[in-house]
Structure 1
Amino acid sequence: MIKPTDTDKEQLDIFLKQVMSHWQNPASIFDSYTTQRQKMMLDRLRLQAQIMLIVGLTVIAFFLWVNVQAAGKISAFKIGLVVELMIGACWFLCQNNFGRRYPQIIFLTLCWSVTCIAQIATALFFNFVEPRIGILILMFLTQATMVPVLWHLHLISQIGTITCYLVLYFFYNSTLKYPFTYYVEQGIYLFWTCIICNFSVYLYEKLRKNEYNTRKELELAQEKSERLLLNILPEMIAEKLKHQHTTIADSFHEVSVLFADLVGFTELSSNIPPQRLVELLNEIFTIFDKLAEHHQIEKIKTIGDAYMAVAGLPIPRSDHAQAIAYMALDMQKAINKFNQERNLSFCIRIGISTDPVVAGVIGLKKFAYDLWGDTVNTASRMESHGLAGCIQVCEASHQCLKEKFVLEKRGLIKIKGKGEMMTYLLKSAIAN
């Protein structure tokens, strides 16, 4: 597979971002659900702290207005100021590493700064405690609405609030200020508020987790389809195919095409089981694929026991002929090594041609990137009219390779449909 240049990599990165944005994914699939939930929790806590600061100012203003006595106003102001400072501290912590590491602590602190600190301060200043159900319900509903994560965290904040009230009530209230039924009624309201909040958070998070898993499955399927598509088509062509619904065809001024065929493979197929035959062919072509990737050459297709590759497209390169020549020589070495390791006698015949081609994708189903032109026909003829174990090249390829490779003149041979052509056998690369 051709390795793109830096410019092509940038274009591919832009393309992949467009693919991901198509799925409208708010977070990377490489983030775990826990990581995404923690990020959302921190963002919501920041917003909640800001809103609570504004609400606190209105509450302070209210108490300053309704308390006639100066002492009462001062006490209410002090309580409100302490609560505001706690909320402000939570908002500040949300901006740094502490908030990113411990958002659960900020969650509980925000809740208890309103429900517990206010109760404790009221007990200290006024020496009594009464259930302010309105404030508690508002706090619990606010957090369930704005920070709907980890229902057990909501439960902890609620139990902490109720425990704080009961402890303070035991120490500061010797007698009931209101009828017993009043406290029972308030307790029922608070109980069902907590149940509804926790159940709502549980259902919300369950839904979000299901959505996350579904989105991740879709993205993994999309990623898999991308990999499959890039295994079939070059990156640039795959990108064009996504955005272009017409025929994709490009002309290339000069490329080098290679055809390779396993000599005697047809005869061998009659002597070994078909499954074993396919396994051997797969092993050989897998080796060729790795060589193509190493030499930055584009594999086009396989036809039976024939292998076709090209250098110089879809990204043009000036050293296309040299690259395809190195590929051919390495294919010969690979076959020899393959035979030695498995005690086999495969022989490969290779043909190379250099000149213009047209490349593209046609049709509606089973897309394949293919080449057309006289260069392709010539490369095929160089292979089919070549010699077993040899690499035969045409005159155009010879002109590109003669400075860096050892070539042996084979002479004029009659090529079907082409007449007589001067051909050469590629032997080796000239040592530097």
Structure 2
Amino acid sequence: MKPIYYIIPLINFFVAALFGLLLRSMFVYPIEGVTFLYILHTHSHIALLGWLYLLVYVLFVQKFAVDSIKETKFYTRLFWVTQLSVMGMALTFPFMGYAAPSIAFSTLHIICSYVFVIYLWKHNNVIGTQQGILLKTSLFFMTFSTLGVWCLGPAVGMMGKASAFYQICIQFFLHFQFDGWFLTAFLALLFATVFKGYSLAKFTSFYYAWITSVLLTYALPLSWYIEFPIFHYLNALGVLLQFYAVGYLIKPIYGLFKQESNCIGKSMCLLAILALFCFIMRIGTQLLTISETITIQLQTLRSWIIGFIHLNMLGVLTAFGLWLMIREQKLIVNTWTKSGIGILILGFVLTEGILLLQGLQGFMSVNWISDTPMLLFWTSVLLPMSILCFLLSYFKNKRL
């Protein structure tokens, strides 16, 4: 696909980062007439559906769609309708939160995603059984995750927004979006780009371990709302299976880096290392939740929950997504790109460090640094700055 279709998701990412910065500013510089919850919904929807979803969309079309004029027209039109829904959410959520217009645009996005799944499922040019299985599994999880959204209406009608059922529906959507749809989608892209022409030994063992881990780790958010001790152990088993599954990828990934060490470049290496390190951190954090006591304490520490979400969104998914864009030459490495990568990593490390510090202070009931909200706001400025650098890299090369 043309560069513009990669620029649009980056613009959405930039807008999401600005809304995130606005959220951080409200703890330091309160703004009258701005509803925190509305801005939070805007930030999360644009980041998830405008940045990550559309990035996977264009990468999937680039790698798996049938290359013909008819197919190109179809995916182009669907892209812009999907982007229209993202723009609609960006213009309605900040002012009214969940209301008829914002819900309509959110519903339009889901319908577009269904059309995308059905069409790509039927018409693709997948080379190799392993790529095909991972592609269709990721598409299945994307569709499966939306069951949580459709259950929100009945949940509100029967038990209200404060009910455990309502929260379980939200967590269902988020879990199978992150762990099922996005992570499996990036695995499919990994096989299609990095492992091109390579068949993973014992793929069946890897695949079933991965799928089982995705299902079992949903026990963690369930444990937040349903008191059932076995959920903690099911989650722990799921995390171990996830670690076991990733173990199958270490050898081929190491071989890739060894083979291409002279041409990968330091910038790509930094993004790959960040994604891998954050994924290991993610697994380690999830293993801590085997203890019911620790899980209850973690639930009360909002900064650690936000830190964990950003560990996934920025550390794992965004870093790997940008790495793929560079590797596929959809983001050219130049001065602006290198600056963007450096600023992104610096901003991510600093904000995660401050969130960790905030949580530790709450956990230990101490106050080492009293002005952490101010520090968090100013370090968060680095994140939209980094995305702006990526956007400027396109204009420098005139690749619109």
TM-score (norm 1): 0.25
Structure with the higher fraction of residues in strand conformation: 1
Which structure has the greater CA radius of gyration?
A: 1
So what's the TM-score if we normalise by structure 2? 0.27
Larger helix proportion of the pair: 2
Q: Higher relative contact order by CA 8 Å / sep ≥ 6: 1 or 2?
A: 2
